A and B are shown apart, each in its own frame.
Chain A
Amino acid sequence: MAMEMLKGLGTTLKEFGKKPTTVSYPEEKRQLPPRFRGRHVLHRYENGLERCVGCFLCAGACPADAIYIEAEENTDEQRVSPGERYARVFDVNLLRCIFCGYCEQACPTGAITLENIYELASTHPEDLVYHKEQLLEPVGSATRGSIVDWTPTPPEATPTPLPGRQGYFDGLEASAAAVGQGDMPAEQAVFLGDDLSGMEHRRRLGEPEEGE
């Protein structure tokens, strides 16, 4: 009896001087690995436009059916994202989410990533349906998030030079043709001018050009 007690006390004494593995949360917070999958963040381009084009691919990839999107068309007066389409509604139900990260893999523009935000608790379930305003990074911030740590450097030469100039479609370097201009420089020369619509062209062929 006494022998066992001493044995147990010995274990305690042995560990006494060592550094503890626990941290005293919330005063102290643990350094998380870069690929930790916490809450989603929606990213912006340098020019402030949202990366998300409202394509529904994340919602389609989601095994838990946690993402709900409603898309709408950009106008010149109200431009939210590059290209024609943006997400007017973007809801993530974190109660359904299983933090698998498929959404960020499905995203063609690198708009959504899972970040190391893990303080997700509430006494009201509806608080855990995060809306676009809560998920979106603030204006002025243009991060790329954990996708940088997830995506391997592309191989130098690839058999397919399409669709991105990098040789693969990671969404980071979206081609202008794919999802709009983003913060990429516009593609240089346009192969076919759009200044002449078909009918105008035909009309001009029938008439002598001005100045000729």
Chain B
Amino acid sequence: MAEQEELVNLTIDGQPVSVPKGSLIWAAAQKLGIEIPIYCYHPKMDPLGACRMCFVEVEKMPKLATACTTTVAEGMVVSTTSAKVKKGRAGTLEFLLINHPLDCPICDKGGECDLQDFTLRYGPGGSRFDLNKRHFEKPIPVSENILLDRERCIACQRCVRFTQTVAMENGLVMEQRGFRIEVGVDPAAPFDSIFSGNVVEMCPVGALTAKNYRFVTRPWELKKTPSVCGNCSVGCNVRVDVRVDKVLRQYSRTNDAIDDGWLCDRGRWDLDWINDTERLRTPLIRRDGQLQPVSWDEALRFVAERLRAVRDQRGARAIGGIGSTHTTNEEAYLFQKLLRAGLGTNNVDHAHGRFPATEPGALPWAWSDSIAGLEQASHIVLLGADPYHRQPIVDLRIRKAIRAGARVYVVTPEANRLDRLVAGVIRYTAGHTGTLARALLNIITSDGLARGEQGAQRAADRRASVAQETPERAAQVAGVDADALRELAREIAGAKGAVILYDEAATLEPSGATLAADVLDLALITGNFGKPGAGAGPLLADNNSLGARDMGLLPDTLPGYRPVGDAAAHAALGGAWLATLPAEPGLSYTEMLSGGVKALYVMGANPARDATPEQLAALDALDFLVVQDLTLTETAQRATVVLPAVAYTEKDGSFTNTERCVQLVRRAMQPLGGAKADWEILVGVARALGLGWTYLSPAEILSEIGRTVPLYAGVTRRSLGAEGVRWPFAPGERTPEGRATITGSPSITWQMLAEGVARAQKPGGELIAPRGRGE
């Protein structure tokens, strides 16, 4: 904390409390653990004061005050339990219940309903209203996924305010007035936002319910497990709600640093693949051209035998492994360890964007700032990125930044949902994101827009390499407006803090080979680096895209981005793994798929889905193909052996999100009978190969990662805590119980970049010598 906030002292129910100036009484009471019931107020939205539920008595105020709209004052004396308050709250509830139907037994909210709970705690025992309640047609759809039951609505307007002020997508409006007031769909803007599910979660009654959760269970039947969403690379903190053997929904677990308390509809409801009845329940081996069920013992023995046979006949380089961006860090780590230490090959890769080879000790390709940092940015540039569809909660944070005054530039080939809200929109022909990035670099280096000594140095280094890439050339090639590019470059160069984000997929475009480096240089030269609200980086595709890279699922780097040829890393890792590691880089993803190997081990990936005909032929020509997956995917259908795996809700582990935050995933349900977690399968295969692995749990594997991977030094399940830690890590303070903790860095600085991120937080002496990020 750089600045000491001004504190205000007050007393609530006789307990003294100090809160920052401008806080609401509700927040002060929250800090003391005193509940003040609320309906219309939501901590993430501006106060409204419509429901009159949060009445408190403030000394010297003539009437009851609403705790959600009254700010604290020095010396204030507040009572939340006086007779007057009790009477006021009971009166409000009696009014709310006049028209609220008591259909709690069939209401989806029943059991987790604020109206039920507060009526029980603060409500009157009865009602004096003996006329008929109003009735409406039972649920009317307000969107494809959400139904509105107008009888139940208490007109708190949370949903309407969410769609208008938080999601900025509109969709819902309040119609009519007084007792006729009701929620309706905005005729000008259909309610089709990807954030729509949040209104179901925040509705204090059962007025808005989810179509796919309708009547499937009651809240008390659910097993609720804190975990992390396994959908996109944002890594929103969720509560996985499971009944018996089905995942029914995910609710937000509010991590202000990542999701800010919101979830997208994909994360909330797209869980059918876990409940899929087509999932595999037994290992399969191809015999007589057919995949036939076998026992686990037989399958593991068979895999080990065949892998050993290929290695003995054709050498270790004939074996390759394709890992996944969906499995946990622990599994990615074990997978490459199995290939490298167990089978002796560096042929390990996964489907990922194109990032230039990482220099020893240099910055791994990752977002140098954080999602929360977007709020402090003065400028945000989206280069070929569509977070609304690919990383929705990042998009929601960008909207929050827009409300805070950030100038956002959307530079995408196609229309973007952010277009109507932003300062500038630049369109170009698809496939030319890299051309644009180089054109921006050209403008900045040739117009002398560099800032700072280091920026000028970097600009001088880069000037020659982008001399030909003028905006006019970009206009010709990519059909972009050159003047718009010039203006954008000037905005970035003059920004107080600019965040430049590109999509991982853009690096795979023909022009994108050096996109990652170009965008990083763009930020470095313009001085937009190393502070919250400034930086550059990729928006990755999947929940553990970054973790897969961190854990060394790459043919040329060991876990923690150490080159495969690095002798010091070999000594350290080989010592820990009791193996001699291969020194030459292995084959890449495409090389392995183009016939580079004879035996292929695929964990949680489906390369056949996007393969070319030649690659499919090469897959069919393999001597041996093992696939670990949930269902019989296109790749699994071609496999020699298929091993049934489980989803992230059925196992423990950790994911690393796109902004480098390592977070715990917890098992929320029994694994599907007959299937095993990927790490269990890998341990089984390793044991069948005679490797003597003894891991009993992902916690053990994570502890090993914490010992052997410098980038993850000190990581254990305990040190990650409830909300995760963002790498690079530093040893933190010890807990009162004497346990070691780690702290993360919100943003990567010049200093870390120069020394190498891994170096910056060295745990011991086993690290490689620092070197600058070489050009």
Shortest distance in angstroms between B222's beta carbon and chain A's nearest beta carbon? 11
A interface footprint on B219-239 (CB within 8 Å = 1, 0 otherwise): 011000000000000000000
Given A161-B126, A199-B184, residue A84 in contact with residue B138 (CB < 8 A): yes
Question: At the interface, yes or no: A12 with Cβ under 8 Å from chain B?
Answer: no
Question: At the interface, yes or no: A210 with Cβ under 8 Å from chain B?
Answer: no
Q: Which of A76-98 contact B (CB under 8 A)?
A: 83-85
Bound-state Cα–Cα, A8 to B4, Å: 97
Q: Are A192 and B221 in contact (CB under 8 A)?
A: no
A interface footprint on B193-223 (CB within 8 Å = 1, 0 otherwise): 0000000000000000000001111101100
Q: Which of A126-170 contact B (CB under 8 A)?
A: 159-163
Q: Are B136 and A160 in contact (CB under 8 A)?
A: no
Q: Are B126 and A177 in contact (CB under 8 A)?
A: no
Residue among A83, A162, A199 with most chain B CB within 10 A: A162
Q: Which residues of B contact A70 (CB under 8 A)?
A: 216
Stretch at the interface among B98-106, B256-264, B371-379, B627-635: B98-106
Q: Which residues of B contact A161 (CB under 8 A)?
A: 126-127, 130
Q: Are A199 and B175 in contact (CB under 8 A)?
A: yes
Question: At the interface, yes or no: A66 with Cβ under 8 Å from chain B?
Answer: no
Q: Is the interface of A mostly helix, strand, loop or mixed?
A: loop
Given A71-B215, A199-B175, residue A179 in contact with residue B106 (CB < 8 A): yes
Stretch at the interface among A33-41, A42-50, A53-61: A53-61
Q: Which residues of A contact B184 (CB under 8 A)?
A: 197-199
Chain B interface size, under 10 / 10 to 19 / 20 to 34 / 35 or more: 35 or more
Shortest distance in angstroms between B275's beta carbon and chain A's nearest beta carbon? 14
Contact of A191 among B103, B104, B134, B137 (CB under 8 A): B134
Q: Are B175 and A73 in contact (CB under 8 A)?
A: no
Shortest distance in angstroms between B486's beta carbon and chain A's nearest beta carbon? 47
Residue of B nearest to A163 (CB): B102
Residue of A nearest to B182 (CB): A198
Question: At the interface, yes or no: A11 with Cβ under 8 Å from chain B?
Answer: no
Contact of A85 among B101, B130, B215 (CB under 8 A): B215
Shortest distance in angstroms between A160's beta carbon and chain B's nearest beta carbon? 3
Bound-state Cα–Cα, A71 to B107, Å: 12
Question: At the interface, yes or no: B187 with Cβ under 8 Å from chain A?
Answer: yes
Q: Are B132 and A73 in contact (CB under 8 A)?
A: no
Question: At the interface, yes or no: A3 with Cβ under 8 Å from chain B?
Answer: no
Q: Which residues of B contact A22 (CB under 8 A)?
A: none
Contact of B132 among A55, A108, A188, A198 (CB under 8 A): A188
Bound-state Cα–Cα, A84 to B138, Å: 8
Bound-state Cα–Cα, A162 to B261, Å: 37
Shortest distance in angstroms between A108's beta carbon and chain B's nearest beta carbon? 5
Residues of A within 8 A of B (CB): 53-57, 59-60, 70-73, 83-85, 108-109, 159-163, 175, 177-180, 187-192, 194, 197-199, 201-202
Q: Could you give 14 example pairs across A and B, Cβ below 8 Å?
A: A54-B215, A55-B106, A57-B105, A60-B218, A71-B216, A73-B214, A84-B106, A159-B126, A161-B126, A163-B102, A177-B101, A188-B132, A191-B134, A198-B175
> What 5 A-B pairs come out closest when comparing CB atoms?
A160-B126, A198-B175, A55-B105, A191-B134, A177-B101
- Beyond A55-B218, A190-B132, list 4 extra A-B contacts (CB 8 Å): A55-B110, A84-B139, A160-B125, A194-B136
Residues of B within 8 A of A (CB): 97, 99, 101-106, 110, 125-127, 129-139, 151, 175-176, 180, 182, 184, 187, 214-218, 220-221
